[in-house]
Amino acid sequence: MENIKDILDDSSQHNRASWLLFLSVNAYILIAVFTTTDEQLFFNNSYLKLPLLGIEIPILWFYILVPFVVVFLHSNFVINLINHRAILEQRNSGDKDIELFPFLYNFLFRKNNRNGNTIVLITF
């Protein structure tokens, strides 16, 4: 069995990459939405030129598919965080503290207070 620290580090790296991907895709979509003109929205047969890629796609397809992409990426990220929290809870059942990979969620989940009770600062 792998060491719990290695499992947590792998999970933290994966979640951080997933979070950065989610933010990047949302920023890219936001830029694409802001480049859309009113005329393009009124005419059904217009095309949207994607920033940085230079590809023209039908604007209707863009606005139909983008919400599904965002929901998929967000769901994937939340499910990974739920799994990561379960691993953090397993780690907290042990006695010793270990240094973890720098990921925001690791710092928002704390194990001990003065009474020795578990404190969870983030829940789903």
pLDDT, tens digit, 9 for 90 and up, residues 75-110: 999 998 888 878 777 766 554 556 666 666 666 665
Specify whether the CB–CB gap between 106 and 8 falls below 8 A.
yes
The whole-angstrom separation of Cα 95 and Cα 104 is: 22
- Of 69, 81, 90, nearest to 108 by C-alpha is 81
| Burial environment of residue 50 by CB neighbours within 10 A (0 to 12, 13 to 18, 19 or more) | middle
The overall average pLDDT reported for the chain is 78
pLDDT score, position 123: 40
Whole-prediction pTM: 0.73
The whole-angstrom separation of Cα 111 and Cα 97 is: 9
Q: Which is it for the CA torsion 69, 65, 34, 53, positive or negative?
A: positive
The whole-angstrom separation of Cα 86 and Cα 58 is: 43
Choose between 120 and 48: higher pLDDT: 48
